[in-house]
């Protein structure tokens, strides 16, 4: 297949690019490199360094024709920042998402994969989260993804653009062959933060709250290996000939903050310095996502089922890349 991947130099996007590359697809990455890294891409993959706001650049790429699909990862993704700059997030994520969908329709693209988020569900009443769980975004970030999902609904209904909305959070780990890993600036994800504390790359890990209604008092989250997420995107892409789909992606098993810290200690053999402080406002006690639908409809299932396995790949990558990709910003 010939596929365009927006945000393909980012964390999840680059792992999907490698998965597509490994199976022999022709991949073009469209990325402004504000959050992505040129170094993570396979040498044979063409990079178009441009912003989605550059309508002329986007049109020029899509006008090449022959596209079998577009996979859309390019987005701002910091929930806290979205609460401080709500309209910026809505414009950057939803507004540019609309422009991309419109361009796909105009250029005859028939398949679209959206990197969506479980942030659509806010503070859910039940767990695990299924596709039928009530949608109530708790942030402008989550709202922006919901707006793109709705736009895709109309693009399919009116123009026949088949889409897959893949809702996930807490992508974790690194490529087992060391080809890509997690290098955010700033880093906000728990596992790499704990690893950096273990490796002496930061002084300590801060735990926000130890009085939640969970077995050890700390928040529980669902961690899915990034390579498994990549395979889920390929599985969803293959499902689109039968119609548009929406899937939640999770392991169905949650791990607390303290369990993550203990896992890093077991795998690294190093005690992790930590400090417990007050809760952060708005943090739900438990967020675990079900992936029963995509498993049933595509046969996809995570290969990395143990937390220590996920952590091990992340530690191996970080030890080999203590400065990440070596960029300054």
What is the enclosing helix (H) or strand (E) of 309?
helix 307-320
Distance CA 37, CA 35 (A): 7
Question: Burial of 250 by CB count in 10 Å (0-12 exposed, 13-18 middle, 19+ buried)?
Answer: buried
Tell me, rounded to whole angstroms, the distance of Cα 59 from its chain centroid: 25
The alpha carbon of residue 14 and the mean position of all alpha carbons in its chain are separated, in whole angstroms, by: 10
Query: If residue 57 lies in a helix (H) or strand (E), which one and from where to where?
Result: helix 55-62
Catalytic residue among 11, 30, 89, 141: 141
Helix, strand, or coil (residue 2): strand
Which pair of tokens denotes residue 89?
A: 């997030």
Q: Which stretch of DSSP H or E encloses residue 177?
A: none
Look-up of token digits 């969970």: 214
Q: Judge whether 141 counts as a catalytic residue.
A: yes
**In this structure, are residues 194 and 221 in contact, taking their beta carbons and an 8 Å threshold?**
no
- Yes or no: say if 239 and 245 are a contact pair by the CB < 8 Å rule: yes
Number of neighbours of residue 297 by Cβ within 10 angstroms = 14
* Close Cβ partners of 313 (under 8 Å, ≥ 6 residues apart): 173, 174, 175, 176, 225, 304
Both structure tokens of 306:
């143990």
CA distance 161 to 148: 13
For residues 128 and 133, give the distance between their C-alpha atoms in angstroms, rounded to a whole number.
9
Beta carbons of 248 and 120 less than 8 angstroms apart: no
| Closest alpha carbon to 220 in 190, 175, 265, 188 | 190
Residues belonging to the active site: 141
């Amino acid at each position: 297949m010939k596929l365009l991947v927006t945000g393909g130099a980012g964390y999840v996007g680059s792992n999907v690019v490698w998965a597509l590359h490994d199976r022999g697809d022709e991949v073009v990455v469209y990325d402004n490199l504000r959050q992505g890294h040129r170094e993570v891409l396979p040498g044979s993959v063409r990079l178009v360094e441009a912003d989605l706001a550059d309508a002329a650049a986007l049109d020029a790429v899509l006008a090449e024709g022959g596209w079998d699909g577009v996979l859309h990862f390019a987005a701002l993704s910091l929930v806290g920042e979205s609460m401080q700059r709500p309209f910026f997030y809505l414009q950057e994520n939803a507004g540019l998402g609309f422009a991309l969908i419109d361009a796909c329709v105009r250029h005859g693209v028939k398949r679209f994969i959206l990197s969506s988020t479980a942030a659509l569900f806010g503070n859910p009443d039940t767990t695990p989260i299924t596709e039928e769980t009530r949608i109530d975004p708790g942030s402008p970030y989550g709202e922006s993804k919901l707006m793109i999902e709705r736009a895709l609904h109309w693009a399919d209904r009116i123009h026949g653009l088949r889409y897959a909305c893949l809702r996930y959070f807490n992508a974790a780990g690194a490529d087992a062959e060391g080809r890509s890993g997690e290098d955010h600036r700033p880093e906000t994800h728990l596992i790499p933060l704990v690893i950096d504390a273990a490796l002496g790359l930061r002084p300590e890990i801060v735990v926000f709250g130890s009085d939640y209604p969970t077995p050890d008092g700390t928040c529980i989250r669902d961690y899915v290996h990034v390579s498994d997420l990549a395979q889920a995107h390929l599985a969803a892409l293959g499902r689109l000939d039968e119609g548009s789909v929406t899937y939640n992606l999770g392991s169905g098993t949650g791990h607390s903050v303290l369990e993550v810290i203990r896992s890093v200690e077991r795998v690294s053999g190093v005690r992790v310095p930590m400090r417990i402080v007050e809760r952060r406002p708005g943090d739900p006690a438990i967020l675990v996502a079900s992936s029963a639908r995509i498993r049933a409809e595509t046969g996809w299932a995570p290969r990395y089922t143990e937390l220590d396995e996920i952590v091990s790949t992340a530690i191996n990558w970080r030890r080999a890349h203590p400065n990440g990709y070596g960029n300054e910003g």
